[in-house]
A and B are shown apart, each in its own frame.
Chain A
Amino acid sequence: MDAVSLQVMVGALRAACDEMGVVLVRSAHSANVKERRDASTALFDPDGQMVMQAEHIPVHLGAMPSAVAAVVGEDHSSGDAWVLNDPYRGGTHLPDITVISPVLSGAELVGFAASRAHHADVGGATPGSMPADSRVLDDEGVVIPPTRLARAGRLDEELLHDLTGGMRAPAQRRADLRAQLAANRTGGMRLKELAARSGLGALGEAMRETLDYGERRTRARIAQLPDGDRDARDVLEAGEHDLPLRLTASVGGEGLLLDFTGSADQHDGNLNCPLAVTLSACYFAVRVLTDPDVPPSAGAYRPVRVIAPEGSLLNARPPAAVAAGNVETSSRVADLVLGAFGQALGQGTMNNLTLGNDDFTYYETLAGGQGACADADGPSAVHVAMSNTLNTPIEALELEFPLRAVEYSVRRGSGGAGEHRGGNGVVRELEALGRHALFADHRTPPARTSEPRGGPGERGRNVLNGVELPGKVDGELAPGDRMRIETPGGGGQEVDMAEVERVERVFLGLGIMGARMAANLCRAGFEVTAWNRTRARAEGLAEAHGARGPRHPPRRQATRGDDHDGRGRSAGRGCSSARTARRGPRRGRARADMSTIAPTASRAIADRPRRAPGRLPGRARDRLAPEGRGRHAHRHGRWRASRPSSSLDRCSPPWESSSCTSAAGATVR
């Protein structure tokens, strides 16, 4: 398939999934789906491989394929639909109900349309079906194994009533399920139109190509990650004893292995994850680390292998309870993977809050602080990791529930310190106007477990009438009680010295400054590649200090002379003649351009980076100017960046640490 048809097909599949999502969100009745958009839609090929998914909520990323896998082997006819929520047979946790519709063109199976929605209640001990103390799956609500909900276009109304009969607000459950069926019908229709337009064979090929395409994109990015193993550890607080989480992440070429061996065994609480949930968390993190825009498909995750031993917390066996695995443990799994690759940790919880009695259920997950990135502050008051739902507006809350809001604000100062700050959490304080059952749950790592490179975010707090409670609360509110939740901040991030170690330092031109500076860097233990037009000079440096000679002599690109013979010619001109000068550095690389000019002039250049770009050495946009001159420059080691630049942040420490200056091109991976 050519590059054009491929892009057109990817677009068509994505449009179909988006349209399914619109139908689902807009026709559902529950606030959970409509307002919070806690739902996903996807299309699959006849083998049950997910070819496209609408972007709603990351927690469903890896879980949709398991749902279709659970029914792919059945016999299918047009107008059939399946329903399931059993975490051990295609589901994640009970409130997530998946409806799967086979799509047939004539007698031929074209694929599947599937939709998943978080239903506000599926029965069980407490409203919201997220009981704090469930021990086995049956405590958590109605378990639906893969079941045929419609046959040849006829909905099994009796079954529908039976299934929803054990849930609170069954009419709303049925409405949401009908919305899921409507979404699948839309997806099926679009898939059939594609089949009619291009032919069944061509559609099949296009689906295969789409999967391969996703795979190529992810592989290309994994290949850019340095090979090797990285470890990350965390503990998940579970009452009396903490549960260890362990990850070894190995990058080898274009593949990534995430091995959770050594993590805790499944426990008798409800923090257990079925494998599908662990996969979702891993896929989310991989996407953040590799190609955030890759169309979500099974292909995009082929290069990722996840090992989670059966019977462990991250691959639990029935009948373990799983209610909090999907919302809490999954966030921590994502954090673990991100942390292994140097991302500062975010709030590490979804801050689940459920209030309710026989008349109403209010469930919501609260925003917090995002961990800082290598090049930016973490945003405040956002959903972190696996959740990305909208809040319930204060006015909607007060209109629909016997609750009053006392405060809703940004929790200032809760983000971790660092060159890049962690995001702040939020404060949400509610007053009960009636008697409610209460369940609030958040966890925060007691300390950062990946290598700390910045300050930790503040821990979350639950405060009832001014008295601090544990992270996980289960109780009752009387009228007038005030429940205050302060959500965690994100971790901060200092400049990553390990990253700095990976900076490749290339000198173009060993003149008055360059020779001294390169020598200083070599002495400081950095690996340096040097080039000079007069080759002997580079070889001399190599001999004296162990610098590498140029692997790719830029002689071909050196169109102008840059002999640094001490006649006062600007070393910058040497840089400008190099390949990087004309088009800028290659993607992912930065170039620091320096020259031997008076400190005042260098400051002026740094302060006016763009005024006369053509006249500046090399037209580099990022520029470091030394505060020193000529043969003395290497003694100063103070630098000014022409503008705030993460890439320069990353390459300046080694220059400073070695107190040297010169004409140089620094490339940063």
Chain B
Amino acid sequence: MVLGVDVGGTFTDAVLLTDGRVVTAKAPTTAADQSDGVLAAVETALERAGTTAGEVDRFVHGMTVGTNALLEGKVAATALLASEGFTDLEELGRQARAELYRLCAGHPPPLVPPGLRVGVRERMGPEGVLRPLDERALYGSIRALSHSEGVEAFAVCLLWGFRHPEHERRAAAILEEEVPDAHVSTSHETAGVFREYERAATTIVDAALSPLLRRYLERLGERARDLGLPNPEVMLSGGGVADAGTAARHGSWTVLSGPAGGSVGAARMAERSGAPDAVCLDMGGTSCDVSLAEAGSVKRTGGREVGGRALALPMVDVHTVGAGGGSVAWADAGGALRVGPRSAGADPGPACYGRGGFEPTVTDANLVLGYLDRGSPLAGGVELDLGAARRALADLGGRLELELEAVAAGIARVASAEMARAVRVVTVERGIDPRDLALVAFGGAGPLHAAAIADELGMRRIVVPRASGVLSALGLVAGERRRDLVESVLLAGGDLTEEAVGASVARLAARGREELHAPEAEVRASYDLRYAGQAFELTIAEAPEPDPGRLRRAFESAHEERYGYADSHADLELVTVRVTVAEPAADLIPGNDGAAAEETTRSALFDGRRMEAKVLGGAISRVSGPAICELPEATLVVPPGWSGGADVDGTIVLERG
């Protein structure tokens, strides 16, 4: 029996997979200590399943402890050791201002204040030592710092440390000697990549989050043990799973733990339904996360920004836009109807929640359109108030000179267009044609808009898992145990040989297998390559001992595909070697929840026309639009022209007729 628990903004979801049965439970998220909500959801799930904690084999956790701490800036007091003359890297960033036309919009404040930045007298260059490490001076500054109250963590980021880590290692050893209780993150270990700002920012985030994560995971582990559960495993930002101890040592690895679970779950469910290549779209109350699945696994990126801070780590490549069920619709000064990014959130929430919200939201529009009704299964079992929704929309309609239903349809359309744009970012803008892909829609609101988004992009297939309301929790148990390792090598010309590359891969693979305690674990390699002089790299998956000729051909065909040209004369440069060491996850067999089929009808608006739509609940076999499918925690809208049915997993697959 496996248990997945995902902590969301409003609710904590638990999914228990047992003998082909899926048991789900929800509990309110507890912000002060997420483990309260986790335990509450677990207990409910166990009770519903009529089983005990002792029966659970694996307990996988997706959390937002690190994300929230980062976004709110509530992190451990952290000091930075950096090459002398370069202690301000985090504050300098890449010198671009946060917003082009808002002059005083700032970047988030640096996590390490100026007083805790220490210049280390040393210097490495591209070829090695330029100035030896002055250890005496370093001892002195560390002692001076340890007098400042409460420094819990140290980040060590020296120039060229990714290539010549000797000084970083020595500095870490001295720290361990002098301040044995403090956490230490070094840049070559945390993010061994070229370019100092991204590496420094990542190392600082790692150091600043690690003490918090350790405390949280230790507490959760204790409470799990008291209950009789196995020690928790944690979903990492890259979609792999690690034991709690590893996650606690690397605070930066779980920053996207939450979205990673959803992406992994969606990718696996789509693959099981015969759609290994898919766009995964998770729409909740405040935002919409879009990611890509290729051959059944989530597409990842080597780095991105989270909350305005650079993180140079393997992460699921999730693009987020501010369009959710709670997004507020408004009329702008030019007379256009806009949706979001402001959200009514969960409190007061959409007008139809009846909690004091009076602004029209996407959920209110879906209610007026008839896609939702009073008893629709939205998170938290709120009863929806149609009158309140109509009042909120009528007010906006008055300003835009649109009838009530036109406003509702307009809000849904603008929200769908917004999400379609997000899908374009992860597909079209990366040279991928979305029309060849299926759309996996999940989250409380995703299936409501799936068909509209697919139509906007010319996509012809939609996949909606039955558990789409809790897919993030389901995805947790589908993640493989994995370590991702990275090393920038900067090899070009005659240095770019099979031996040199193979040695780097072997080094990383050995480290990964050791850390995973899995000597036989599978090794996958990929390579960040560029033409000399380019500033972006393309990541190419190839064999662990790649022949440089093959590497070049693979790079050129990828370059051609993405950018429309290749240059067979230009010098090729291997910037970074990426190695993944993984043990496959158990197959995800969600099974069925055994609900009986139900069928009613209600009036809903499609393409400007009121129609009587079938409303299907419980076990759904065939469906053709106009119809509405009530899933356990989500509602799927099937407009005319779309039809399909459920497969053995209960996943509904729709095709454009």
Cβ contact within 8 Å between A395 and B160: yes
Cβ contact within 8 Å between B402 and A393: no
Cβ contact within 8 Å between A371 and B92: no
Min CB distance, A54 to chain B, in Å? 11
Residue A306 interfacial (CB < 8 Å): no
Report the nearest A residue to B107, measured CB to CB: A379
Cβ contact within 8 Å between B95 and A382: yes
On chain A, the residues within 8 Å of B197 by CB distance are 391, 393
Cβ contact within 8 Å between B562 and A26: yes
Residue A480 interfacial (CB < 8 Å): no
Say which residue of B85, B104, B402, B533 sits within 8 Å of A30 (CB atoms).
B533
On chain B, the residues within 8 Å of A408 by CB distance are 85-86, 88-89, 92
Min CB distance, A331 to chain B, in Å? 13
On chain A, the residues within 8 Å of B86 by CB distance are 394, 405, 407-409
Interface residues of A in 332-363 (CB under 8 A from B): 338, 343, 346
On chain B, the residues within 8 Å of A383 by CB distance are 95-97
On chain B, the residues within 8 Å of A405 by CB distance are 85-86, 159
Min CB distance, B607 to chain A, in Å? 13
On chain B, the residues within 8 Å of A55 by CB distance are 100
Known contacts A7-B337, A19-B424, A220-B334; A426 and B92 CB within 8 A of each other = yes
Cβ contact within 8 Å between A389 and B96: yes
Cβ contact within 8 Å between B418 and A410: no
Residue A381 interfacial (CB < 8 Å): yes
On chain B, the residues within 8 Å of A179 by CB distance are 563
Min CB distance, B564 to chain A, in Å? 5
Min CB distance, A528 to chain B, in Å? 31
Report the nearest A residue to B163, measured CB to CB: A395
Min CB distance, B460 to chain A, in Å? 16
Interface 9-mer from B409-417, B465-473, B509-517: B409-417
Say which residue of B93, B331, B336, B400 sits within 8 Å of A10 (CB atoms).
B336
Report the nearest B residue to A411, measured CB to CB: B88
Cβ contact within 8 Å between B563 and A377: no
Cβ contact within 8 Å between A213 and B335: yes
Say which residue of B88, B417, B535 sits within 8 Å of A11 (CB atoms).
B417
How far apart are the CA atoms of A383 and B103 in the complex, in Å?
Answer: 10
Question: What total count of A-B pairs have CB within 8 Å?
Answer: 208
Cβ contact within 8 Å between B106 and A379: yes
Cβ contact within 8 Å between B402 and A19: no
Say which residue of B159, B194, B406, B429 sits within 8 Å of A22 (CB atoms).
B429
Residue A447 interfacial (CB < 8 Å): no
Report the nearest B residue to A288, measured CB to CB: B101
On chain A, the residues within 8 Å of B96 by CB distance are 382-383, 388-390
On chain A, the residues within 8 Å of B95 by CB distance are 366-367, 381-383, 389-391, 426
Interface residues of B in 388-447 (CB under 8 A from A): 400-402, 406, 409-410, 413-414, 417-418, 421, 424-425, 428-429
Known contacts A15-B424, A409-B87; A395 and B195 CB within 8 A of each other = yes
Min CB distance, B357 to chain A, in Å? 13
On chain B, the residues within 8 Å of A58 by CB distance are 100-101
Residue A77 interfacial (CB < 8 Å): no
Min CB distance, A400 to chain B, in Å? 8
How far apart are the CA atoms of A294 and B332 in the complex, in Å?
Answer: 10
Cβ contact within 8 Å between B535 and A396: yes
Cβ contact within 8 Å between A216 and B335: yes
How far apart are the CA atoms of A430 and B92 in the complex, in Å?
Answer: 17
How far apart are the CA atoms of A377 and B563 in the complex, in Å?
Answer: 41
Cβ contact within 8 Å between A27 and B92: no
On chain B, the residues within 8 Å of A214 by CB distance are 334
Known contacts A3-B402, A11-B417, A15-B421; A291 and B536 CB within 8 A of each other = no
On chain A, the residues within 8 Å of B331 by CB distance are 3
Min CB distance, A64 to chain B, in Å? 15
Residue B99 interfacial (CB < 8 Å): yes
Cβ contact within 8 Å between A379 and B97: yes
Q: A346, A379, A406 — which one has the most chain B CB atoms within 10 A of its CB?
A: A379
On chain B, the residues within 8 Å of A292 by CB distance are 99-102
Min CB distance, B369 to chain A, in Å? 13
Cβ contact within 8 Å between B104 and A27: no
Residue A237 interfacial (CB < 8 Å): no
Mark contacts of A55-87 with chain B using CB atoms, 8 A cut-off: 1 yes-contact digit, 0 otherwise.
Answer: 100100000000000000000000000000000
Residue B113 interfacial (CB < 8 Å): no
Interface residues of B in 309-349 (CB under 8 A from A): 331-338
On chain A, the residues within 8 Å of B160 by CB distance are 395, 398
Cβ contact within 8 Å between B417 and A343: no
Known contacts A373-B104, A395-B159; A26 and B533 CB within 8 A of each other = no
Report the nearest B residue to A365, measured CB to CB: B95
Residue A31 interfacial (CB < 8 Å): yes
How far apart are the CA atoms of A3 and B413 in the complex, in Å?
Answer: 11
Residue B277 interfacial (CB < 8 Å): no
On chain B, the residues within 8 Å of A343 by CB distance are 103
Say which residue of B94, B410, B429, B536 sits within 8 Å of A4 (CB atoms).
B410
How far apart are the CA atoms of A662 and B477 in the complex, in Å?
Answer: 63
Interface residues of A in 566-601 (CB under 8 A from B): none
On chain A, the residues within 8 Å of B649 by CB distance are none
Interface residues of B in 159-187 (CB under 8 A from A): 159-160
Cβ contact within 8 Å between B414 and A4: yes
Cβ contact within 8 Å between A394 and B159: yes
Say which residue of A8, A291, A376, A378 sits within 8 Å of B417 (CB atoms).
A8
How far apart are the CA atoms of A389 and B95 in the complex, in Å?
Answer: 7
On chain B, the residues within 8 Å of A398 by CB distance are 125-126, 160
Min CB distance, A36 to chain B, in Å? 8
Residue B531 interfacial (CB < 8 Å): yes
Min CB distance, A119 to chain B, in Å? 14
Cβ contact within 8 Å between B104 and A372: yes
How far apart are the CA atoms of A6 and B332 in the complex, in Å?
Answer: 12
Say which residue of B88, B101, B402 sits within 8 Å of A287 (CB atoms).
B101
Report the nearest A residue to B429, measured CB to CB: A22
How far apart are the CA atoms of A471 and B94 in the complex, in Å?
Answer: 24
Residue A404 interfacial (CB < 8 Å): yes
Cβ contact within 8 Å between A18 and B429: yes
Say which residue of B94, B336, B417, B564 sits within 8 Å of A27 (CB atoms).
B564
Interface residues of A in 95-111 (CB under 8 A from B): none
Cβ contact within 8 Å between B92 and A409: yes
On chain A, the residues within 8 Å of B107 by CB distance are 379
Residue B196 interfacial (CB < 8 Å): yes
Residue B22 interfacial (CB < 8 Å): no
On chain A, the residues within 8 Å of B425 by CB distance are 18
Cβ contact within 8 Å between A7 and B338: yes
Interface residues of A in 290-319 (CB under 8 A from B): 291-294
Residue B91 interfacial (CB < 8 Å): yes
Residue A240 interfacial (CB < 8 Å): no
Residue B534 interfacial (CB < 8 Å): yes
On chain B, the residues within 8 Å of A388 by CB distance are 96-97, 100
Report the nearest A residue to B570, measured CB to CB: A29
Min CB distance, A624 to chain B, in Å? 24
How far apart are the CA atoms of A110 and B12 in the complex, in Å?
Answer: 52
Say which residue of A19, A35, A182, A407 sits within 8 Å of B565 (CB atoms).
A182
Cβ contact within 8 Å between B125 and A404: yes
Listed from nearest, the 4 A-B pairs whose CB atoms lie closest are A27-B563, A35-B535, A4-B410, A292-B101
Q: Could you jot down 16 A-B contacts, CB within 8 Å?
A: A2-B402, A3-B337, A3-B402, A3-B410, A11-B414, A11-B421, A29-B570, A35-B535, A220-B333, A292-B100, A371-B103, A381-B88, A381-B95, A391-B94, A393-B197, A399-B490
Interface residues of A (CB under 8 A from B): 2-4, 6-8, 10-12, 14-15, 18-19, 22-23, 26-27, 29-31, 34-35, 55, 58, 172, 175, 178-179, 182, 185, 213-217, 220-221, 284, 287-288, 291-294, 338, 343, 346, 366-367, 370-373, 375-384, 388-391, 393-396, 398-400, 404-410, 412, 426, 429
Further 6 A-B residue pairs, CB within 8 A, beyond A29-B531, A396-B195: A27-B564, A34-B536, A221-B333, A343-B103, A367-B92, A389-B96
Interface residues of B (CB under 8 A from A): 85-89, 91-107, 114, 125-126, 130, 159-160, 194-197, 331-338, 400-402, 406, 409-410, 413-414, 417-418, 421, 424-425, 428-429, 490, 531, 533-536, 562-565, 567, 570
